[in-house]
Structure 1
Amino acid sequence: MKKIYSVEEYIEEHQNFSDALVMLRDIINTTEVGETIKWNAPVYTVNGKNVLGLGAFKNHFGIWFFNGVFLKDEHNLLVNAQENKTKALRQMRFETISDIDKKVVLAYVKEAIKNQKLGKEIKPERKTKKTILPDALKVVLNSNKTLKTAFENLSPYKQREYCEYIESAKRDTTKLKRLEKITPMIQQGVGLHDKYKNC
């Protein structure tokens, strides 16, 4: 796929819908949004936040609203591109330039901008991994309160590194050797691989 550097270039790449894309772009640009290229397509932002974008495909073109789920959609124009996958994104699709009602499009765009300013957005869920302590490490930590406190003060990421390091040893003797190696490191508050970082 060719890298797109400007909105004009994007429109030129989609000549079958170029007049319609120009019309949508002109409507969008009557508002306060900033225009940029992201993911090889035109994206419009407010205060650095993505609000909407232009898109052209084989049989249709349109506007996607990053947090379109919050739009009232009084004209029933929005579709969820990936049912059960996409939570916030909604598309307004058109097949011909005559499908575009300028006033209606502008109303949706203005509502999307207003929603963004109000902070209406679905943030992606961050999956947090639960740290499961290997039995060998659990025994050592429970018998040494200072070490246990030092371990608990480590970031979850560093805790997981140590747990995986112990758990990945197949033999008990290897686990014990590894425990001896990491004990002073935990007490110093460093991660297992810190010495390799920023090299």
Structure 2
Amino acid sequence: MGEKNPQVDQFFSGVKQWKKELTRLREIVLETKLTEELKWRAPCYTDLGKNIVILGGFKAFCSLNFFKGALLKDPQGVLVRQGENTRSARIMRFTSEEEIVTLKATIKAYIREAINVEKSGEKVALDQDSEIETPDEFQKRLDDDSALRAAFEALTPGRQRAYLLHFSGAKQSKSRESRIDKCLSRIFDGKGLHDCTCGLSNRLPTCDGSHKQLKS
């Protein structure tokens, strides 16, 4: 059994939706002896510093996200793409604790395969989007930084598209690099290009400037 991380304990203390299901997933993942960390404000599990899986909670379901799920064989057909632009990650969706218990053996088998895939050094080919070209400067960042790639792929397709258009809109490479640098923290925080970062807007997730009045 892997050790529980105090930061993740604190995360779970604030979870309201899918708490039983996510707690059960946590127990199963820890049985594989992965290292538990808190990344991108969610429980993330690593092997020798490499990201393997991360837990997620959404309105309609909770999930177990495999960073290199595209490389898994998936004999049970339980892995799905989270969005149309997702290249590497694949998720298992759950809507009840009973479903998780039933699939426990499958979950652990997939995690073990994911660990072996990561150890093999195999990489997912990140094809460029068919409609929006990924700037070379940003593609290189994705290829060189697995954490950035994971954070970007965790965004919704619309948010991904907005960033790509924003980066591509700069005519010079230096300007594109500057735009990318300024957006990195937003991407790691799971925010879109126009999402509110202060949390005080009257029109979340976008920011309408109302935070100035709300603070006063």
Number of aligned residue pairs: 127
Say if 1:12 and 1:18, in contact at 8 Å, map to a contact too: no
- 1:48-106 deviation line (CA, Å, top 9, x unaligned): 111110111122101000000011111111110111x1100111000111111111111
Determine whether 1:7 maps to 2:8: yes
TM-score of the pair, normalised by structure 1: 0.58
The letter of the residue matching 1:7 is V
Task: Percent identity, please.
Answer: 34
* Structure of greater Rg: 1
CA contact (8 A) 2:34 2:46 kept: yes
**Matched ranges for 1:30-179 at <5 A:** 30-83=31-84, 85-100=85-100, 101-122=103-124, 127-128=135-136
**Whole-angstrom distance in 2 between the partners of 1:119 and 1:33:** 18
Q: Distance in 1 between matches of 2:20 and 2:77?
A: 24
Q: Distance in 1 between matches of 2:12 and 2:47?
A: 22
Provide the rounded CA distance (Å) in 1 between the counterparts of 2:63 and 2:76: 15
- Mapped to 2, the partners of 1:58 and 1:12 lie a distance apart of 19
Superposed displacement of residue 15, structure 1: 2.8
Deviation string, structure 1 residues 11-36 (Cα, Å, up to 9, x no partner): 23333322221211111111231110
Structure 2 segments unaligned to the other structure (5+ residues): 1-5, 128-133, 138-172, 175-216
Deviation readout 1:107-135 (Å, 9 max, x if unpaired): 11111111111112337688546xxxxxx
- Runs of 4+ with deviation above 4 angstroms: 123-127
Q: Secondary structure at the match of 1:59?
A: coil
Structure 1 regions of 5+ residues with no counterpart? 130-159, 162-199
TM-score (norm 2): 0.53
Provide the rounded CA distance (Å) in 2 between the counterparts of 1:74 and 1:13: 35
Find the residue that maps to 2:91 and give its secondary structure: strand
Match of 1:176 in 2: none
CA distance in 1, matches of 2:33, 2:96: 26
The RMSD of aligned alpha carbons is 2.3
- Deviations 1:139-175 (CA, angstroms, capped at 9, x unpaired): xxxxxxxxxxxxxxxxxxxxx77xxxxxxxxxxxxxx
